[in-house]
Amino acid sequence: MLNEWHAEVEEVYDQMVAWRRHLHENPELPFQEVQTARMVGDILAGYGIKVQRNIGGHGVVGILKGGKTGPTIALRADMDALPIQQKNDVPYKSQVPNVMHACGHDAHTATLLGVAKILSKYEDQLHGKVKFIFQPAEEQFPGGAIQMLEEGVLEGVDAIFGNHVLSSVPLGNFTVPKGSATASSDYVKIRIIGKGGHSSAPHTSVNPIVIGTQIITQIHLLMSQKLDPVQPVVAAITVFNSGGTINVIPEEATIEGTVRTFNQEQQENVQTLLTHILNNVTVTYGATYEMEYTRGYPQLVNTEKETKVVRDLLDNINHLNVVEMPPIMASEDFAYYLQQVPGVYFYTGSATDAPTTQFPHHHPKFNIDEQAMKNSAKGFLSIVHYYLVPDDA
């Protein structure tokens, strides 16, 4: 039966491409996925799948109940886009100014719809249930996963599986991290309060811009000297804003960024070090500060038993391979699901020799080779077959 399912991926591929391109042309930001959710729900309903809408916001859940009893397996795709102006010229370019599917969520959604279409034809032969989880707002904290969980999306679920296309991995390959798959991500906002004045008399002022540059320098310097180098840490300052004008030393400046780690101890160490830096630098210059340190998505950890199963399944798909890749410092709110039930988050390579497929995620020219959707779909189908068609092993 599994060979039949994989063969049907080829048949539904053109439809997946059409869905993906429609979504790419009509992206919606986190917590605003109204039309995307409507489209997803309507397509699922058209295949006779029970649909639950508005779960945790704009989340959609499709429930396919097999003809025989067995476990419940959840498959998850994210639906939201990013606040990025698309800069590559493709026939399906985003029609929404400053909004773009620059991470592959359009492909994730289209792929899972294709999987649902195939499995709906074999409903009576499934030993258990499949929950298709279409999640909003992965890209923006606090994220859509935590809200869907609060509304019981994993009730009765025995295991959950998620997938992400990856432009750093060549097409034709999967990677299935053992243990840690992504890092935790914390958010830092620092308000530096100095004393404004005229730029011609800096000695009468306390310049928060000068102080901010010292803080940023100390963060990068001391991170390399005070933290264990074998435990990865990324502290990325991405906002520095004073709102000032020429000839005016501003009263305040704001620094914002993210901190990414792979364990709670390092999280604590980073926060302590930041506080130490802020105390010392601001005192030296006669300023004060306020810091907001928000714990974001936790570390994503694939469970051991399910990881072995998925690695074996994907490695047995014809013409596809499982390759090794170290954990990445990106974060993913799929981590919340894995805190409640076993499961695996795996990656599908989407890069080819064509330069257009090699831009990093969140880049305004990001794109994938759409053949990757076939591979992701086959991966999901292999997982469902393993858990819900035991008589066909």
- Tell me whether residue 25 is annotated as binding: no
Cα(273)–Cα(226) distance, integer angstroms:
8
Residue type, 33: E
Question: What are the phi and psi torsion angles at 134 (to 5°)?
Answer: -105, 105
- Tell me whether residue 220 is annotated as binding: no
Q: Is 143 left (phi over 0), alpha (psi -120 to 50) or beta?
A: left
Segments in the chain forming alpha helices (H) = 2-25, 34-46, 105-120, 144-150, 208-226, 264-285, 304-315, 334-338, 371-388
| Catalytic-labelled residue, pool 28, 138, 186, 332 | 138
Cα(291)–Cα(272) distance, integer angstroms:
12
Task: Please confirm, yes or no, whether 28 is among the known catalytic residues.
Answer: no
Cα(157)–Cα(128) distance, integer angstroms:
10
For tokens 């996925």, the residue is 33
Name beta bridge partners: 300.
Answer: 182
User: Using only C-alpha atoms, what is the Rg of the chain?
Assistant: 23
Q: What angle do CA 173, 174, 178 make, to 5 degrees?
A: 140
Task: Please confirm, yes or no, whether 138 is among the known catalytic residues.
Answer: yes
DSSP string for 323-373: -----BS---THHHHHTTS-EEEEEEEEE-SSGGG-SPTT-TT----THHH
Cβ neighbours of residue 114 closer than 8 Å, sequence gap 6 or more: 9, 12, 13, 15, 16, 19, 373, 377
| Catalytic-labelled residue, pool 80, 186, 333, 370 | 80
- Tell me whether residue 105 is annotated as binding: yes
- Tell me whether residue 28 is annotated as binding: no
- Tell me whether residue 164 is annotated as binding: yes
Per DSSP, the three-state class of 292 is strand
- Binding-site positions for Mn(2+) read 103, 105, 139, 164, 362
- Binding-site positions read 103, 105, 139, 164, 362
Active site members: 80, 138
